[in-house]
Structure 1
Amino acid sequence: MLATISPPAGYGVAELQLDIDDTEHERRRAAGLGVATGHGFGGLDVLMALPHGLPVPLEALTDHQRAYVLRAPAGICTVTGGQVVRHVIRPCRVRLATVRAASASQLALDAADKFTTICARRVIITRPPSVHFPEKLLEFGSYGIGVCLQHPDGELETLVEPRPWRVKRHSAEDWWFAETAYGHFLAQQSPPASALSQAP
């Protein structure tokens, strides 16, 4: 499913379009698990080192990895018979960051540019282009940031298409951002309080 949220603190004012993994979302709900950001990047580094759904001998793990998986709740992984199986996967993908501004200013460009390593980006403006706008359009286009003009009736006119975003590499930082965005999504659901459990 698609959902729209505000970004985590530190990323300015924007709307994030999330593509929620419905299967993982339901699995976490059934397990009583919300976000999996316990221990920040460190815990996610451990999880990224484990293949999803395949058993790994505990003796093959480092002391740090073994300590983490032995404390993790069942929604994260299970340890049986001297082996650990990771269940958790990234709960969502951030598809698009949208910044709204009066015009295609440098501030709007900077706000959208914060999401360069995360997703596609666009700016929605409400003021029609000025005579100097073609140069600004080229600048936004060179950064891969789309520009749409919102007309008074609400219709959006695409002036610059956002550059499609492709995953270059998977990192714990990207997974952490997805978990944090997922936490914001959960907070918008009802009841919000019970959905925000964290892994150790």
Structure 2
Amino acid sequence: MTTIRPVSPAMAAAHAGAVRAAALLAPAGTRFGSGAPLGGWAALAGVPDSQETARRERIGLGAVTSVPVLAALLGLPHGLPVPVAALSDRERRALAAAPAGCVDRGPDGIVRQARPPLAPALAVVAATRGWRAGLERAGRFAPFCARAIVLDREPRDLLAACVEADFYGVGLVLARPASLEVLVAPEPHQVRRISARSWWFAEQVHQAIITRDERTEAGAP
């Protein structure tokens, strides 16, 4: 049985500050969620692929989070048939485990239908244990998206915090109860290529958005 630990008021305020910062820093057309895909909570933002998300909603396909499945999908051209005989045993096993809606099977072979549901845009970490620890946690997201950390008070060595954040390309935001101050803007993320791991992260952000939407519909805080 999983024990749900209550979130302290201070932690809840820190998370709320991260969500506010994500809404401020993320590009237009972004949708938001939160989660801990890399082992630490963060506010997550992504720009959806409207056609893919509409397709998934239509057929009831949620997030696809199996890395072996995503790796096998990535090995197939999107929308073009690949003969089953051309696939390795590992690829056949992975595709057999793919959720319905990822591929179509026809007389000419297997056709990949799934693609990343969004482009990850930003991860914002609540630096509740100081800016140095926040920078370390934000570094986990470096391969996937732009990053920022949020502080609830001005650091003692403000210059050092700004210099290090800027050096690593991490945004630094000071969250006050009624305002946000961007001390360092996050460095834009350069997408070099889609890998199974980057697709996996996009699915994690997609899942965070789905979960947030479901909680909102249910009236949960």
Structure 1 unaligned segments of length 5 or more: list them.
193-200
Pairwise CA distance, 1:103: 8.4
Question: In 2 relative to 1, CA 96–9 (structure 1 residues): closer, same or farther, beyond 3 Å?
Answer: closer
AA aligned to 2:163 is: L
Question: In 2 relative to 1, CA 169–9 (structure 1 residues): closer, same or farther, beyond 3 Å?
Answer: closer
* 8 A Cα contact 1:124 1:149, kept in partner: yes
Q: How does 1:1-200 map to 2 (within 5 A)?
A: 1-37=29-65, 40-70=66-96, 72=98, 74-101=100-127, 105-130=131-156, 132-154=157-179, 156-190=180-214
If the length of structure 1 is used for normalisation, what is the TM-score? 0.82
**Residue deviations 1:21-49 (CA, integer Å, cap 9, x gap):** 22111101111211223xx2211111000
AA aligned to 2:70 is: L
Tell me, in whole angstroms, the C-alpha distance in 2 between the residues paired with 1:94 and 1:73: 22
More helix per residue: 1 or 2?
2
* 8 A Cα contact 1:44 1:172, kept in partner: yes
Aligned residue pairs, count: 188
| Identity across the alignment (%) | 35
* 8 A Cα contact 1:104 1:136, kept in partner: no
* 8 A Cα contact 1:104 1:123, kept in partner: no
AA aligned to 2:39 is: Y
AA aligned to 2:174 is: L
Pairwise CA distance, 1:10: 4.2
- 4+ residue runs of structure 1 moved beyond 4 angstroms? 70-74
Pairwise CA distance, 1:70: 5.0
Pairwise CA RMSD: 2.4
**Residue deviations 1:69-105 (CA, integer Å, cap 9, x gap):** 4564551111111311100001122211112346862
Pairwise CA distance, 1:67: 4.0
Question: In 2 relative to 1, CA 74–135 (structure 1 residues): closer, same or farther, beyond 3 Å?
Answer: closer
Structure 2 unaligned segments of length 5 or more: list them.
1-28, 217-221
Tell me, in whole angstroms, the C-alpha distance in 2 between the residues paired with 1:144 and 1:86: 36
* 8 A Cα contact 1:17 1:95, kept in partner: yes
Tell me, in whole angstroms, the C-alpha distance in 2 between the residues paired with 1:15 and 1:104: 17
* 8 A Cα contact 1:145 1:162, kept in partner: yes
What's 1:195 paired with?
none
**Residue deviations 1:109-164 (CA, integer Å, cap 9, x gap):** 1222221111111122232354x32122111111111112234422x222211111
